[in-house]
Amino acid sequence: MGAAYFYHLTRNPLEVALPQLLGRARSVGWRVAVRGRDPERLDWLDRQLWLGPEAGFLPHGLAGGPHDASQPVLLTTGEASNDPACLMTVDGAGLDPAEVQALERVCVIFDGNDPAALDIARGQWKALTDAGCAAQYWSEESGRWEKKAERGA
């Protein structure tokens, strides 16, 4: 049974924080799906991941390619075909409690400077914890990730 980790971005933009979180997930051997809502935004994220430092290279691909199932990190707007252990949602992408229960981890990454993103994340926190999912809230406000709240198992 997994847990949902909510990452509240206040200092770093998504293109800085996401590679860090992906690197941590990959360091424990997890395949990861990054779910967004907008294909153009995922194209942009794909380019940002390719531009990262050579030492921090994250092998990844956009959904719809011939090798989706073998991608260690797959950027998608829908279901992931790479058998992920971890799902990271960005830009308010949807998720449901069954995904949290089925995966090792679900990460909800949201922009703390965007009131709409905050509202979506709050709604997701409530929906998931009301459904019995374990959840943690992490903030980078101090300059490093710190756990600020925890609910459930």
Type and span of the H or E element at 44? helix 39-50
Q: Return the pLDDT at 59.
A: 87
- Under DSSP, the state recorded for 66 is T
What lies within 8 Å, CB to CB, of 129 at 6+ separation is 135, 151, 152
CA 67 from centroid of its chain's CA atoms: 21
Domains and CATH numbers, the chain: 3-151 (3.40.50.10110)
Quick one: pLDDT at residue 66? 87
Q: What phi and psi values does residue 9 have, to the nearest 5 degrees?
A: -80, 120
Instruction: Tell me the pLDDT tens digit for each residue of 115-153.
Output: 999 999 999 999 999 999 999 999 998 889 999 999 986
Residues pairing with 109 in the sheet: 7, 90
